[in-house]
Every structure is written in C-alpha cells, then in structure tokens.
Chain A
Amino acid sequence: MAAPKLEAPLDDLIAAGAKWTPVPLLEEIKDHGRAWEDLAAQYGVTNPDPPWKTSLDGMCEALAAGSCSSVAAVEKEWLEGASDRAHLPGAPALPLLERRWEEDELSATLYQDVPFPERQLLALAHSLIKRGLIDERGLAQKVQEVRERLSAT
C-alpha cells in the first residue's frame, strides 16, 4: 500500500526560505565544496561518514551544554516567549532545539541540495553567524588559514 503523498506547497517553501538570507561564504562552499560521498567514491573509501563527522557532533553537543542541568528550564522559558534568553542563567550558546529547528528549515530551503552531514555543518555555521556568535568575515579568514595549514608540506 502506498503512503499518501504530500506535495510541498510552494508558498510554504517560499515563506520558510524567505527567513534565511544566504551567507556568501557558505554559498561558495555549498556550490564548490566536494561532499564526502563524492570523495569517498573517487578514492575508494568505504567509511560512510567523513572523518570530521564526530567532531561536528561533539561541537553541537558542546554548544548545547552551557549548563547541562538548566537546559530544559532555559528552553522552556524560550519556548514560552522569553525574549532575552541569552541572559538567562545557564543559557547554552546554541540550544539544541533552536539548532535542530533551524537545521530543519535550512535543510528544506537554502541547503536542500546538499548531502548529509555537509548540510548539518552548513546549517550550524549559518545559525552561529545569524546570532553573531561568529562573524562571516572572521570565518572566511579562518577557513583560508585552515586550508593553508592543512595543505602545508
């Protein structure tokens, strides 16, 4: 038996996408970066995940862990409309629910054609830039610095 089909209403997609402004640096990486599935196929590597995946997972956990015991309380206040969450005691840098919901939206819009976990990484960077926790120019410089460091012989 086939599952009932749901078609994406165009207006919904546009509405969700309109909330998100493309970040030029991330667009550049999205358009020109090589995803793990391509690299693995080219080099004959069978590991399904890129080597940086667990580090990305660790980063998401660490960002949500500002204060383990108070995460639930902080998120409850935020869900109830607290507008100044950043000043709530024990507020994590990027609460898990906010990150996941933004990842859902970005995955359905700006980064819909990017495979996982590259999509998760772009969404995380986007969320951090949107909040001003890191800035795009600084990130661009850092990416370049890292590239040069990794390429050094």
Chain B
Amino acid sequence: MPHDDHGHGHGHNPPAPMVDEISDFEALEIAVRELAIAKGLFTAEDHRKFTEFAEHIGPTPAARMVAKAWLDPEYKKLCLTDAIKASLAVGVNWLNPTGFGTPSDYTDLRVLEDTPTLHHVVVCTLCSCYPRPILGFQPEWYRTPNYRRRLVRWPRQVIAEFGLVLPPEVEIRVEDSNQKCRFIVMPMRPKGTEGWTEDQLTEIVTRDCLIGVALPRPGVTTNLKMPVHRAAKPAHH
C-alpha cells in the first residue's frame, strides 16, 4: 500500500478541483428560486423533491433495458409490447417515476425496434418531450428548434450531421414525442459483441443511440458533442 502518494502525509487522494468563485448566474438561480418560494409559486419541499428527481435520473436504465433485450428474447418481447412493465426490470416505475407526482403526464412509453431495413429517430416538435425517467435530461441540441424542425423534414441529412450515414435502402422513421407518449430506440446489437455481458453491452448503448442519432459500436461509450445552431425561423406563438 502506498504510504504517501502526494506528499502531505495522509496518503489521501488530492481533492478534486472546484470552482472557487461565485458566479452571477449561481446567485441568480438562488434568488429566483427563493423569491418564487416566498411568493408561493411552489413550495421548498416540492422544489427539493423535483431537484432530487433531476439528480438521480440518467440514461443508464434505458441502456440496460436494451442490453437485457439483446440477451433475452422474452424480455425483448416484453419491451416491445409493454415497455412500462419492462421498465420495472431496470428500476424505473414509469407510472410513478418520481414517487410524488410529476408535471408531465407519463402515460405511455414505447420501445422502437430497429431492423436491417428500418431505423427510428425521436424528436419532440412541440417543445422537448423526452422519456426523462428512463433516459435523464435532454441534451441541449434536442431542445433546439433547429433540430426539432429540420429532423422531420430531412431526417437522413440531420442524422448524417451526427455522423450516422445510413444506406438509402434503410427507411428512416421519425417518432414525434408528446405529452402522452415517449419513445426510446432499440438499435440492433452490433457485430463484435458476441459473448459480452449485460454490463458490457449497457456501456455501448449511449444516449444518442437511444434517441436514434447514433448506432452502438464496440469501444464507443460516449456521445457526440454537437454544435448548437440557432433557430433559422424563430417561433411566433
């Protein structure tokens, strides 16, 4: 056992770097929140619960769902016929995801199965509906009008911007999320993953794969950082 790796006598790891500065944005977030609570727009308790929900969600349950389905044909059938029930196996109670209620009406979850001739990709043209309980928060680009408007018009070209170029014989189907129904994509299991464990497979099912702007590949476990383009035609509601 190393005695003292860092020269300060305790053998501890050095502290992680931290921002030692108060930003105006940090002060603004706290100020808006405290005023909203003081004016009764929501309670401190509600805010705490929703924040805890925000802190514990992420893409891992959805990735695990796909990995399990790749390994278990019966579970795959369940995913495709009753995704809400299937989500219980990865620790998500879709019908009561927060345990205390949610402003969104999470009534349905569907898993979209890709085939050699069909590829799915998900969008929310209205705002930014997303299967948060099982996939976490949306990436910034998913929220932008640029992605939302262009994907439905030029899906093949837009997913190509993410580096996913599909042959013309593969049909691309865009699913539009809404308040009643959320989607995740179940891509095909890639070659080169024979004999892999569920944990190994889970690692390559990235958030982008589950939205449909990427395909899983051995060795790729991170998402593409996409530049965000401004809206070409700002909305006029």
Instruction: Considering the complex, give the chain B residue whose CB is closest to the CB of A8.
Output: B232
B29/A56 in contact, CB under 8 A: yes
Complex Cα–Cα for A80 and B55 (A): 35
A139/B230 in contact, CB under 8 A: no
Q: Does chain A have a CB within 8 A of B53?
A: yes
Q: Whole-angstrom distance from the CB of B47 to the nearest CB of chain A?
A: 5
Given contacts A43-B18, A62-B42, are A3 and B23 in contact (CB under 8 A)?
A: no
Q: Contacts of A150 on B, CB cut-off 8 Å?
A: 22, 26-27, 30
Segment at the A interface, from B64-72, B151-159, B213-221: B151-159
Q: Does chain B have a CB within 8 A of A84?
A: no
Q: Does chain B have a CB within 8 A of A24?
A: no
A134/B24 in contact, CB under 8 A: no
Main secondary structure of the interface of A (DSSP, over half): helix
Q: Contacts of B36 on A, CB cut-off 8 Å?
A: 59, 62-63, 93, 128, 133-134
B101/A125 in contact, CB under 8 A: no
Within A110-153, the residues touching B (CB, 8 Å) are: 112, 116-118, 121-122, 124-125, 128, 133-134, 138-139, 142-143, 145-147, 150-151
Neighbour of A93 across the interface among B19, B28, B41, B233, CB < 8 A: B41
Instruction: Considering the complex, give the chain A residue whose CB is closest to the CB of B33.
Output: A59
Q: Which of B23, B28, B46 has the most CB of A within 10 A?
A: B28
Q: Contacts of A117 on B, CB cut-off 8 Å?
A: 140
Q: Does chain B have a CB within 8 A of A82?
A: no
B234/A12 in contact, CB under 8 A: yes
A16/B234 in contact, CB under 8 A: yes
Neighbour of A142 across the interface among B20, B35, B42, B102, CB < 8 A: B35
Chain B: interface residue total (CB-CB under 8 A): 66
Q: 1/0 contact trace for A94-105 toward B, CB 8 Å?
A: 101100110011
A12/B34 in contact, CB under 8 A: no
B103/A71 in contact, CB under 8 A: yes
A29/B233 in contact, CB under 8 A: no
Q: Contacts of A61 on B, CB cut-off 8 Å?
A: 50, 53-54, 102-103
B31/A54 in contact, CB under 8 A: no
Instruction: Considering the complex, give the chain B residue whose CB is closest to the CB of A7.
Output: B232
Q: Contacts of B179 on A, CB cut-off 8 Å?
A: 72
A97/B126 in contact, CB under 8 A: yes
Q: Does chain B have a CB within 8 A of A81?
A: no
Given contacts A33-B24, A52-B30, are A12 and B35 in contact (CB under 8 A)?
A: no
Q: Contacts of B103 on A, CB cut-off 8 Å?
A: 61, 64-65, 68, 71, 92, 96
Q: Contacts of A54 on B, CB cut-off 8 Å?
A: 51, 54-55
Q: Contacts of A86 on B, CB cut-off 8 Å?
A: none
Q: Contacts of A71 on B, CB cut-off 8 Å?
A: 103-105
Q: Does chain A have a CB within 8 A of B206?
A: no
B237/A101 in contact, CB under 8 A: yes
B50/A57 in contact, CB under 8 A: yes
A35/B232 in contact, CB under 8 A: no
Q: Whole-angstrom distance from the CB of B153 to the nearest CB of chain A?
A: 8
The 17 sampled A-B contact pairs (Cβ below 8 Å) are A6-B150, A12-B233, A12-B234, A16-B234, A17-B234, A45-B19, A54-B55, A58-B51, A58-B54, A59-B50, A62-B47, A65-B50, A68-B102, A108-B235, A125-B28, A128-B36, A143-B31
Residues on B facing A (Cβ under 8 Å): 16-36, 39, 41-43, 46-55, 101-105, 126-128, 137, 140, 143-145, 150, 154, 156-158, 160-161, 165, 179, 228, 230-237
